[in-house]
Structure 1
Amino acid sequence: MAETEKAEPPKTKTRPIVRIGIFLISHSLLASVVCCTAGVVALLLLPVLAKNTYISENALMPGSASSMLSNWDISEANRLVKELSDLDSDSEEDAGIASRRILSNYMSNLGAEVGYHKFQPQLNQFHPLHFFSSPDSSIPDHNLTYSSYGISVVGIIRAPRGDGKEAIVLVTPYNFGKNGRGDSFSLSIGYTVFSLLTRVTWLAKDIVWLIADSQYGEYAPVATWLRDYHSPVFTSTSGVDARSGGRGDGLYVLNENHFARRKISNGFRRAGTMAAALILKVGDRNSPFEETLTVFAEASNGQMPNLDLINVVNYLAVHRQGLHVKVEKFWSLVNSKWLEVLGGVFELVGDVARSLNPSWKFGIPAADYVDGAATLASSLYYQAVGIPTGPHGAFRDFQIDAITLELSPKVASFNKGRHNEFVLRSGRLIEGVIRSVNNLLEKFHQSFFLYLLTSPGKFVSVGVYMIAFALLVAPLPLVAASLYIDATKVNLGLKNGKHTPTATLDGIGITFKSWKWLSAAKEVFVVHLWGAVVSLLPYFICQIPNCSPTTSFGIWVFLSIFSLLVLYLILGSPFSHVHAPQPQNKEWAIVKSVTMSAVFIGLLLMSVVNFATAEFGALVIVPLCLIARPLKLDIKAAKMRSFLRVICNVVLCVVAFPPVSFFLLKGISEGFESINVGDFWNWMESLWAWNSATYIYIGMVHLPCWVLCMHVLLHYSC
């Protein structure tokens, strides 16, 4: 029998995803340019791509019922405010006690349950072990005097149709003993609504009215009350002890009738699980033309309330009460010439698109684009900073949807008629919002939690603005892989001297014989460890007494540079390989490859915690990582392209340095004449005091990667 020839095994085809990966790595330069350009363009297009807001939860039904607020409620509120303003006490402490007594009597006479909450102000001191947890402040320090405490008044209405398992919270900050015109206005509106809600029959959720003692700030009383509400301490310290014989005794004994005494309690009163919260303020500044409502929604680490809550407020304010609704914006960008030009370009493109096909709805007027871009930048910035823009941030820490509403009356609202009209419109707005939330059978969940606002009635969802971030960070793994392959001389399927994306896995020829990346990985790891040390230095600097912000910042910079020099003495500086042998001429490429991998991982992790911070970080640090190359190589080349790359590297290194980035942003938004060196220390101090994850990102991701890019630029072993 003749021997049969052995059939050759069929060649395995490379998977399409692998072919695409090989193609992108082979053309990483082109892919980087395309992705970064597309990412910046996508970011600039966000105001154009913004959609109109809409109410997702049908059960809210805003404006479906007529308001029940009457002039009688307003007259009672005016009588309360007049009685508070007529108080004549020798000290602010006595005036505060008398004010609380009057408020408790008024609420108790309405049939509400009244209690007090005593708290002590918290010092904003950096503590690394408590960074991501709230300080243990529910038990006050007994060594403090009575005047060192704040005491808030809490009133609770039990819902006639409810089972006590859910509640809606209304907060009005009030400075007892030293109230201003805005405090009186907000208290008048709050009492008007509270008085109405004690008589209605449609309530299915308890109503909690917290009159927060704002003498130590507006955030502290709300935050401490929420901590005690959700983490009860079974002692008499969280309330006002009537048996102590101190000042707190007067709050209880001075109630005049038996009914009030039965309703007013010194213990901590609670209602059900909070469905939503509204913080009501009246600004001291008046609006010159019309009554306005400013909505503040940003909470800690970029958290936002459910968009439906903002939509209900916006709908009722605009279509029912005729208020002008605003959100914060960067006013410096409103007058920006380049934004006007860009808006004109998008408007022109939209006109051309509509002329080709009327169904193509692209482009907005240039003025709307500028206004939307200024609002979007403000929303992105406040989310990235991670500091709450109002007391509502304390509720978001407990996953409670809350917003701060700041009302501004007209300048001509000083007469009695205008005053009553303003209180009536504001009270009806709060009544309508509470009625809509009262209709819910479950928590807010239908609408968006991740979004950016371009106006009170327009938003950009996470599915849209994440495209810009994805495009910006996409080149990092591609360039990192390309650099590593080139540095270790790995063959990527060469054919006729060119890269072929159709190469098989066997043709890639990747081996693990070279372990050069371990040295680079060690260097990158140690520099990130140095970043952690730099992040902890403020804890020790804060222990220095009588240290100004400028001095603290100087000490921080000196200790950071000194620790970095010590680190380089141990590991070897970028100048230690001047006479390095030729085989090490690609060491900088491996360091850059590992650095870009670290940046990619750091930005992805940060996007999970605070997407806005990751967006800003990608916009600043990614171009520097991509373009970083030893300056000596470009100087030796003596070409125009190399010269331009040197200029770009120097500019990007300066701009990407965190203090410089801060001063540039502050100068653009507030003017460069107001810049002070100590402002950066104050800003960083506010970040760690509010437990902002942006502080961790700057210290442990951004700054180490900037140092590593400087290491690559100054690398002489090439």
Structure 2
Amino acid sequence: PGLANREFVAVNQAERLVLQLANLSTEFPEKYFPVNFLRKQFEDIGLEVYEHKFRFKYPFGYDKPAVEGVNLYAIFRAPRAASTESIVISAPYRSPSNPNGSTLPSIALMYSLAKFFKTKNYWAKDIIYLISGNELLGIQAWLQSYQGLKNRFDQYLESDVLLAKAGAIQAALNLELQSFSPPYVQVKLEGLNGQLPNLDLFNVAVELCNREAVPVVFHGESFYMTENEWENWKRKARTIVSMMATQATMLPTGAHGLFQKYAISAITLEAPDRRAKYVMVNGLQLGRSIEGIVRSLN
């Protein structure tokens, strides 16, 4: 990983799109997002764009209204292959008013990367850009339709048939970037029922972020080493205990965890919207880190 030169530079484009999305978000309820606007953006760069609607009925308490939502996904067909394999880049839609933090920078950076990737001819896998509504519900509904696998619990989550598919999904990268200038990037990998992705995917993400001078954090701990062996040991012990406790809950730490249910290696890159006194990451570093990860998966 990292042998290819990273060439992404269109950060200004992503920053402009964030402002446009922020203005549009005031016109839509939290559970919806400006589908038509985003659809046009992806169509203008020559991608296949589709909507996917879903409906969730509560299994307990039938007096509650059903939750309805929509996903938007765009497909870039690889010029060097016959749509046999694909990579997913996903991001949940959260407006600036969301208490969990806005993900508009994730969507804007995804679009800028999609426009950049479209100009290159070295892709051997299709790339699917997925923007999900209603967080994990949207991802689960889309995966359920894409894989064509349902169990008795899926009767509560109804979704449309996908109008188009790409190749078999080999890996997924979920983006939850709340800012283009975060102090660090946190890598999340725990999935449903304690499942974990291939360790190579985690190592590739850490290596590519390090090459772009992006500080990486895992369970609140960084990867730096000091001369104090005791402090190093304590930090590693805290990481192990934190990871075991997270896996014991059986809950995914992000949308990536639902991909692992279908034997798809996936991780989440999360960047908080917080100012740091000592170091700041910029959009160029984030974009090139993601570019490197996707090219390594390719």
> If the TM-score is normalised by the length of the shorter chain, which range does it land in?
0.7 to 0.9
Kindly provide the amino acid, as one letter, of the partner of residue 407 in structure 1: A
Gap regions ≥5 residues in structure 2: 151-157, 222-226
Q: Secondary structure at the match of 2:288?
A: helix
Q: 2:11 aligns with which of 50, 57, 74?
A: 74
- Closer, same or farther in 2 for the Cα pair 1:397/1:117, shift >3 Å? same
Query: C-alpha distance in 2, partners of 1:91/1:404?
Result: 26
1:316 aligned residue: 208
Q: Please state if 1:281 is matched with 2:176.
A: yes
1:314 to partner: Cα distance: 0.6
Query: C-alpha distance in 2, partners of 1:306/1:160?
Result: 27
Kindly provide the amino acid, as one letter, of the partner of residue 169 in structure 2: M
Kindly provide the amino acid, as one letter, of the partner of residue 228 in structure 1: S
What does 1:212-611 align with in structure 2 at a 5 Å threshold?
Answer: 212-214=132-134, 218-231=135-148, 238-239=159-160, 268-283=163-178, 291-318=183-210, 320-328=211-219, 365-408=229-272, 411=275, 422-438=282-298
**8 A contact 1:188–1:423 mirrored in 2:** no
2:154 aligned residue: none
2:155 aligned residue: none
Query: C-alpha distance in 2, partners of 1:88/1:388?
Result: 27
- Closer, same or farther in 2 for the Cα pair 1:205/1:74, shift >3 Å? same
1:178 to partner: Cα distance: 5.1
Query: C-alpha distance in 1, partners of 2:3/2:185?
Result: 21
**CA deviation digits over 1:474-509, x for unaligned, max 9?**
xxxxxxxxxxxxxxxxxxxxxxxxxxxxxxxxxxxx
Q: Secondary structure at the match of 2:3?
A: coil
Q: Please state if 1:64 is matched with 2:3.
A: yes
- Closer, same or farther in 2 for the Cα pair 1:79/1:302, shift >3 Å? same
1:590 aligned residue: none
Q: Which has the higher strand share?
A: 2
**8 A contact 1:92–1:177 mirrored in 2:** no
1:114 aligned residue: 49
1:329 to partner: Cα distance: 5.3
Kindly provide the amino acid, as one letter, of the partner of residue 207 in structure 2: Y
Query: C-alpha distance in 1, partners of 2:102/2:200?
Result: 28
Kindly provide the amino acid, as one letter, of the partner of residue 37 in structure 2: I
Query: C-alpha distance in 1, partners of 2:36/2:149?
Result: 25
**8 A contact 1:282–1:406 mirrored in 2:** yes
**8 A contact 1:115–1:154 mirrored in 2:** yes
Query: C-alpha distance in 1, partners of 2:138/2:25?
Result: 26
Q: Please state if 1:162 is matched with 2:81.
A: yes
Query: C-alpha distance in 2, partners of 1:171/1:91?
Result: 21
**8 A contact 2:136–2:255 mirrored in 1:** yes
Tell me how many residue pairs correspond in the alignment.
282
1:382 to partner: Cα distance: 1.7
- Closer, same or farther in 2 for the Cα pair 1:123/1:425, shift >3 Å? farther
**8 A contact 2:22–2:96 mirrored in 1:** no
Query: C-alpha distance in 1, partners of 2:115/2:166?
Result: 18
Runs (4+) off by over 3 Å: 88-91, 121-126, 176-182, 237-240
Q: Which has the higher helix share?
A: 1
**CA deviation digits over 1:648-694, x for unaligned, max 9?**
xxxxxxxxxxxxxxxxxxxxxxxxxxxxxxxxxxxxxxxxxxxxxxx
**8 A contact 1:238–1:268 mirrored in 2:** no
Query: C-alpha distance in 1, partners of 2:15/2:178?
Result: 18
1:378 to partner: Cα distance: 1.0
**CA deviation digits over 1:593-613, x for unaligned, max 9?**
xxxxxxxxxxxxxxxxxxxxx
Gap regions ≥5 residues in structure 1: 1-61, 127-142, 241-266, 331-346, 348-363, 439-718
2:120 aligned residue: 200
Q: Please state if 1:191 is matched with 2:128.
A: no
Kindly provide the amino acid, as one letter, of the partner of residue 289 in structure 2: L
1:101 aligned residue: 36
Kindly provide the amino acid, as one letter, of the partner of residue 108 in structure 1: E
Query: C-alpha distance in 1, partners of 2:96/2:80?
Result: 37
**CA deviation digits over 1:177-207, x for unaligned, max 9?**
9568631211122112111111111100000
1:270 to partner: Cα distance: 1.0
- Closer, same or farther in 2 for the Cα pair 1:231/1:293, shift >3 Å? same
1:85 to partner: Cα distance: 2.3
**CA deviation digits over 1:359-403, x for unaligned, max 9?**
xxxxx7110111111111011222222221111111010000001
**8 A contact 1:329–1:374 mirrored in 2:** no
1 or 2 for the larger relative contact order (CA 8 Å, sep ≥6)?
A: 2
Query: C-alpha distance in 1, partners of 2:73/2:286?
Result: 21
**8 A contact 1:166–1:273 mirrored in 2:** yes
**8 A contact 1:185–1:423 mirrored in 2:** no
Query: C-alpha distance in 2, partners of 1:197/1:170?
Result: 12
**8 A contact 2:14–2:108 mirrored in 1:** yes
Kindly name which structure, 1 or 2, has the bigger radius of gyration based on alpha carbons: 1
Query: C-alpha distance in 2, partners of 1:100/1:197?
Result: 22
Query: C-alpha distance in 2, partners of 1:125/1:390?
Result: 24
1:86 to partner: Cα distance: 2.5
1:151 aligned residue: 70
Query: C-alpha distance in 2, partners of 1:239/1:210?
Result: 15
> What is the percent sequence identity of the aligned residues?
33
- Closer, same or farther in 2 for the Cα pair 1:393/1:384, shift >3 Å? same
1:81 to partner: Cα distance: 2.4
- Closer, same or farther in 2 for the Cα pair 1:329/1:175, shift >3 Å? closer
Q: Secondary structure at the match of 1:200?
A: coil
**8 A contact 2:95–2:102 mirrored in 1:** no
**CA deviation digits over 1:508-528, x for unaligned, max 9?**
xxxxxxxxxxxxxxxxxxxxx
**CA deviation digits over 1:8-49, x for unaligned, max 9?**
xxxxxxxxxxxxxxxxxxxxxxxxxxxxxxxxxxxxxxxxxx
Kindly provide the amino acid, as one letter, of the partner of residue 109 in structure 1: D
Q: Secondary structure at the match of 1:386?
A: coil
TM-score (norm 2): 0.84
- Closer, same or farther in 2 for the Cα pair 1:204/1:164, shift >3 Å? same
Query: C-alpha distance in 2, partners of 1:168/1:101?
Result: 24
**8 A contact 2:25–2:95 mirrored in 1:** no
- Closer, same or farther in 2 for the Cα pair 1:144/1:429, shift >3 Å? same
1:514 aligned residue: none
Kindly provide the amino acid, as one letter, of the partner of residue 8 in structure 2: L
**8 A contact 1:116–1:239 mirrored in 2:** no
